[in-house]
Amino acid sequence: MVRKNQLPQFPSDYLNEKAEEYDSSKWMERNQKRSTLLSIQYLYDEKLVDQDEGDIKNSSNLLILDLGCGTGFSSEILIESGFKVIGVDILPDMIVKAKEKKDILKSPKIFELILADINYLPVRLNSIDHIISISAYNFIIHGKENYGKQVKQLTETAENLNNILKKNGRIIIEFYPKDDGELKIFKNSFINNGFDGFMVKNKPKQKSGQTFLLLKKRI
Ligand SMILES: C[S@@+](CC[C@H](N)C(=O)[O-])C[C@H]1O[C@@H](n2cnc3c(N)ncnc32)[C@H](O)[C@@H]1O
């Protein structure tokens, strides 16, 4: 069972009965939902808004990609906030649980699920309004110990995300970088590949704590 103040291990903490434990943990549900609500606020952060954008707060009909959707806690909040959601996760054990949430929705068409790797998304170019990722983006460099390989992967993924986003598309990533170096390569992968943005930390002195990246596709 993943506990407070302990970073989960991928994939072992999300397989078989661990997926079940994850989904039935009230603490985890609260935590994921709180971070998602905060991310929705960050999506509309005034520092990301251009003057010519009009009313960006009307979320009905906006299509949002939930990267690393897990069992769907974040997706649930996004749907309740009026977005249409595509959840993406690489592990069948997690996505099966998200499917249970989809099945009890009154309008299942507003929630699609894809079993896929964030690094290789089967999504059309220019088709997504915004992207969020809560407690999952850390894992995209899993298994790549070498710094060069990590940077290459992060770069390719940031480029792909840029390509699938529509004009003015934003990305909010909540993640837990393990140190200052990791924080830098994640942030730079976006800034060097077509995004403007900045980071927000609730505890700024803590290099490895909860971090939000607020990003907007550069025109
Ligand atoms: C903390 S959990 C899910 C959090 C999610 N926000 C929620 O509400 O449940 C992190 C998820 O990231 C997924 N993940 C890790 N690496 C991934 C990758 N490369 N592509 C897609 N999903 C990935 C894991 O399978 C896991 O379900």
Hey, whose CA ends up nearest to atom 10 of ligand 1?
Answer: 136
Top-level class of domain 12-49+57-217: alpha beta
Query: How do residues 98-156 score in pLDDT, each as one tens digit?
Result: 999 999 988 877 999 999 999 999 999 999 999 999 999 999 999 998 999 999 999 99
**pLDDT value, residue 51:** 64
- Give the C-alpha separation, 56 to 41, whole Å: 12
Residues whose beta carbon lies within 6 Å of some atom of ligand 1: 10, 14, 32, 68-71, 73-74, 88-91, 94, 117-119, 134-136, 139-140
Which ligand 1 atom sits nearest the alpha carbon of residue 139?
16
Please determine, for residue 219, whether its predicted confidence score (pLDDT) is greater than 80.
no
Pocket test residue of 118, 119, 154, 161 for ligand 1, highest count of atoms within 8 A of CB: 118
Q: 3-state SS string over the chain?
A: CCCCCCCCCCCHHHCCHHHHHHHHCHHHHHHHHHHHHHHHHHHCCHHHCCHHHCCCCCCCCCEEEEECCCCCHHHHHHHHCCCEEEEEECCHHHHHHHHHHHHCCCCHHHEEEEECCHHHCCCCCCCEEEEEEECCHHHHHCCCCCHHHHHHHHHHHHHHHHHHEEEEEEEEEEECCCCHHHHHHHHHHHHCCCEEEEEEECCCCCCCCCEEEEEEECC
Query: To the nearest whole number, what is the mean pLDDT of the chain?
Result: 92
Please determine, for residue 207, whether its predicted confidence score (pLDDT) is greater than 70.
no
**Domain ranges across the chain:** 12-49+57-217
Residue 31's pLDDT band (boundaries 50, 70, 90)?
A: very high
Please determine, for residue 26, whether its predicted confidence score (pLDDT) is greater than 60.
yes
**pLDDT value, residue 1:** 45
Mean pLDDT, range 65-74, rounded to an integer: 98
- Top pLDDT among 209 and 197 is at 197
Please determine, for residue 54, whether its predicted confidence score (pLDDT) is greater than 70.
no
